[in-house]
Structure 1
């Protein structure tokens, strides 16, 4: 019995320490951040509910914005997509704060302040933790890495995006566009938004994977399914238990997400392994993104510019998803 008391005391101390850390991170730290921002003159809406912050108000304004009729001659669509930002900026100025769950968010609309954040030369502004879902979708590429890892990734990836390299891909882009136009001639009606999504997927698949563009199309469809699952839960309150526990439980949604992640990785690994097996003395064939990136990996100094298989996959995920979503909308 005497031996159990020290063990019980140690367990109790660990539990108390964990409970205090949890309470501090969940309740005390957000309160202190909000207090510090208000002391510096940063205004914003009241914090809303304890659990959801301003999320209920944001969702209500977004539902009301769905009834808006936009001017087809105007590109001012922010009031429809993010009405809360437009409203709060008119009330509190170009710099204000609001809460998503228990976490305070700072909106910065002053150009000079935005420039300081984006330059970030001294590492003052860290990248946000996006969670397992978005990491699976975007990959731990340039968008999410920091420090030495970011420098190493950039050394490998940036040579593939020089103007000379991009020019070599213009013929492929033109051929994809010509194929789309020929297809339009056979249709009476064309849904332009859908067609441009398909065109962008076709172009990126060819320019990223070259002769393996069919696998690239499969990557796109898989990422699209992943995106729907992730966005469905994105607007929910970011409670710590949601971030640290629920995303790892074997729910139907999580099992579907894990299956898609596995399929995505296996498709990319298959393409990369085939490319590695076909490497000649002169290097990797083709001027697609994957070949250029793998060539940079092989030519770099050991430990400085080389990327692992998983890191190459992550960069491909970033290029596929980010490139597709931005280009197809533009």
Structure 2
């Protein structure tokens, strides 16, 4: 009996050790060899951390330099590893996040093929553990039947006729922002922060029918959660002790996730109460209303769970606000560089609209030639190397 126990005591650690080295060494080396045989090169795999240390070092070094005045060549600054590796290994290359292989595709035609995914061969990444807490299994992550259900709801909520009804709300929010700016004439304004407030106000009102205060609380919590994503996106969890080393970060992320969930639950409960009290004939025609209605469905084919509802809310808040805020800030920055196009665009707007605000029935929108001119678009936008990142689970 003793010999059997001793044998098992030796066998189990040996098995775990073999499994560990297979996952952390043999498999990555095998994938790297096969990819190179197909012409896909990249930085060599390093045991445990992959290329994360290299990326971290390059990013630290990049922040030591200052961008030339009014330069929009930001790729070497924000993604120095992508900038360097595309030059060394070509437009498509392989890198490593720990023992996970990541294929970077920067050729536009291939990016289009991956994103269209006509044959369904490209699976969506579930994302890093902290990023998954931000978006959950929302529209950006869901696939198959679940994706179709969620996409249908989103399409219905943001169809063109409903977007037209949002215009007065959007115009009102922009007016409030510009009025506030008028009191800061001659002073510097942090437009990125201003656009953060603007987009959160618009999204809260148009998609969720909530107040700016309610929306602001959610955005602040999502922002704190995103800061954890940024701080840990290059961290590789070590086997066994990884969870212990990241205990406090994991605890903070879990707590933020619970708070965000409860904030959305409060908004959802208010919407249901308004319907039950007769204040609303239905749950509302905005995105939240459609999601709540789907959650209350008796038909299991159409019903969405409360977890899915909250994940969709998180996705809409994050994707709707963060991307728009960044785009508006970037447009203002590039127009500040290209003052000739700024003046042309301003003159066209005043010639067509004067002091009036655009409306959905205004034909002058289609008459804007400067803003829609291809040369203008090339001058006020930057097409940097796009990349699509996908995880290779097996080869």
TM class by shorter chain equals: 0.7 to 0.9
- C-alpha separation in 1, matches of 2:151 and 2:9: 46
- C-alpha separation in 1, matches of 2:14 and 2:150: 41
Residues 295-306 of structure 1: pairs in structure 2 closer than 5 A: 295-298=293-296, 302-306=299-303
Aligned residues of 1:222 and 1:264 also touching (Cα < 8 A): yes
Contiguous gaps of at least 5 residues in structure 2: 328-395
Aligned residues of 2:204 and 2:210 also touching (Cα < 8 A): no
Contiguous gaps of at least 5 residues in structure 1: none
**CA 1:216–1:242: 2 relative to 1, 3 Å:** farther
Aligned residues of 1:137 and 1:317 also touching (Cα < 8 A): yes
- C-alpha separation in 2, matches of 1:241 and 1:128: 24
- Say if 2:158 is the partner of 1:122: no
The aligned residue for residue 261 of structure 2 is 265
- C-alpha separation in 1, matches of 2:144 and 2:11: 36
The aligned residue for residue 214 of structure 2 is 215
Secondary structure at the residue paired with 1:107?
strand
- C-alpha separation in 2, matches of 1:271 and 1:135: 22
Give, in angstroms, the shift of residue 151 of structure 1: 2.1
Secondary structure at the residue paired with 1:169?
helix
Equivalent of residue 161 in structure 2, options 160, 164, 170: 164
Aligned residues of 2:203 and 2:321 also touching (Cα < 8 A): yes
Aligned residues of 1:100 and 1:238 also touching (Cα < 8 A): no
**CA 1:253–1:237: 2 relative to 1, 3 Å:** closer
- C-alpha separation in 2, matches of 1:131 and 1:194: 27
Give, in angstroms, the shift of residue 53 of structure 1: 2.0
Aligned residues of 2:295 and 2:306 also touching (Cα < 8 A): no
- C-alpha separation in 1, matches of 2:248 and 2:55: 28
The aligned residue for residue 232 of structure 1 is 231
Secondary structure at the residue paired with 2:318?
helix
Deviation by residue 1:57-97 (Cα, 9 ceiling, x = unmatched): 2222222322142452x543212111111121122211111
- C-alpha separation in 1, matches of 2:210 and 2:274: 12
- Larger deviation, residues 311-320 vs 108-117: 108-117
Question: How many residues align structurally?
Answer: 321
**CA 1:292–1:168: 2 relative to 1, 3 Å:** farther
Secondary structure at the residue paired with 2:257?
helix
- Larger deviation, residues 219-228 vs 105-114: 105-114
**CA 1:269–1:5: 2 relative to 1, 3 Å:** farther
Equivalent of residue 130 in structure 2, options 122, 129, 133: 133
- C-alpha separation in 2, matches of 1:15 and 1:305: 49
- C-alpha separation in 1, matches of 2:144 and 2:3: 46
Give, in angstroms, the shift of residue 21 of structure 1: 3.8
Give, in angstroms, the shift of residue 265 of structure 1: 0.8
Give, in angstroms, the shift of residue 180 of structure 1: 0.8
- Larger deviation, residues 187-196 vs 214-223: 187-196
Give, in angstroms, the shift of residue 6 of structure 1: 6.9
Aligned residues of 1:207 and 1:288 also touching (Cα < 8 A): yes
